[in-house]
Amino acid sequence: MSPSERYGCTGCDASILIDPVNGDNSTEKNAAPNRSIQGYEVIDEIKTKLEEVCPQTVSCADITAIAARDAVSFQREPMWPVYGGRRDGRESLASEALRDLPSGGANFTSLHNLFARFGLDDTDLVALSGAHTIGVAHCTVISRRLFNFTGKGDTDPSLSPEYANFLKTKCSNPPNPTTTVDLDRDSSLAFDSHYYEGLGRSEGLLASDAALLTNQRTKYLVQRFQNFWVFKDAFARSMVKMGAIEVLTGNNGEIRNNCRVIN
């Protein structure tokens, strides 16, 4: 599962893993911001192996948090410590994902306030946005920026014209809901600092990416994080902070037998 699974508390209670029941689309997995997430089968495979060796011991939440760390630490030493002991949540609500995850169209004020609500500052905001160096977004998320930004058939002027034209070759108008584009045009499969380099060229795919350039503090951080080693260290610190948000422990949760189903 890519670290671009969202800014939300990475693996805190594994509620995003729960499948809908009887066609009900009210779980986090089916919330609009999460529909491009892939890799659930990797978590399933890890859980199956662990249950064979030490049943009812390692939570799906811990598995997800460790897998997120290892996915971006590939071919490097682990980039940050993951503290175990999380319990899995017993509910999964799409409404909570919609409430707690930033919209791809969010402006800086909305992003700042949302992150502050969880004890995260503007450095965390910019560092965790760097997760967009991996993954994709659906054309439906960016269609308005490309084809009808102010309701007059125009394009968002904060996008580089060359990049906007490139995106229009990928996304139709109206958009195909199944079509996706890379969040990081330069290297969507590698964890690097190209996301910030793209932002510097006005090539942030989402409006929420471009919003980081509308505040002097975060614009400065975008420039700083174009140095991969500076970004890597900041990302690691922010992931530790985010991974400690509202963690379930003790009797406040469970250890699921199957990550997709509440016991």
pLDDT of 3 strictly over 70: no
pLDDT of 227 strictly over 80: yes
Q: What percent of the chain has pLDDT over 90?
A: 75
Binding site annotation covers 112?
no
For residues 21, 27, 182 and 7, what is the CA-based torsion angle, rounded to 10 degrees? -150
pLDDT of 76 strictly over 90: no
pLDDT of 257 strictly over 80: yes
| Range 198-212 average pLDDT | 97
pTM of the model: 0.91
Binding site annotation covers 36?
no
Binding site annotation covers 62?
no
Binding site annotation covers 150?
no
Task: Find residue 138's DSSP bridge partners.
Answer: 180
pLDDT of 6 strictly over 50: no
Distance CA 133, CA 184 (A): 5
| Range 67-88 average pLDDT | 90
For residue 263, give both structure tokens.
């016991």
Q: What is the pLDDT of residue 246?
A: 87
Q: What is the pLDDT of residue 9?
A: 55
- Of residues 206 and 30, more confidently modeled: 206
Q: Kindly state which CATH superfamily the domain 3-135+183-252 is placed in.
A: Peroxidase, domain 2 (1.10.420.10)
For residues 11, 192, 209 and 35, what is the CA-based torsion angle, rounded to 10 degrees? -40
Whole-number Cα distances in Å, 135 to 5, 132, 217, 235 = 8, 6, 26, 17
Binding site annotation covers 11?
yes
| pLDDT digits 0-9 by tens, 81-138 | 999 999 999 999 988 888 888 999 999 999 999 999 999 999 999 999 999 999 899 9
Binding site annotation covers 109?
no
Binding site annotation covers 102?
yes
Domains of the chain by residue range = 3-135+183-252
pLDDT of 11 strictly over 70: no
Binding site annotation covers 182?
no
Q: What percent of the chain has pLDDT over 70?
A: 96
- Of residues 45 and 2, more confidently modeled: 45
Mean pLDDT check: name the lowest of 129-133, 149-153, 186-190. Answer: 186-190
Binding site annotation covers 233?
no
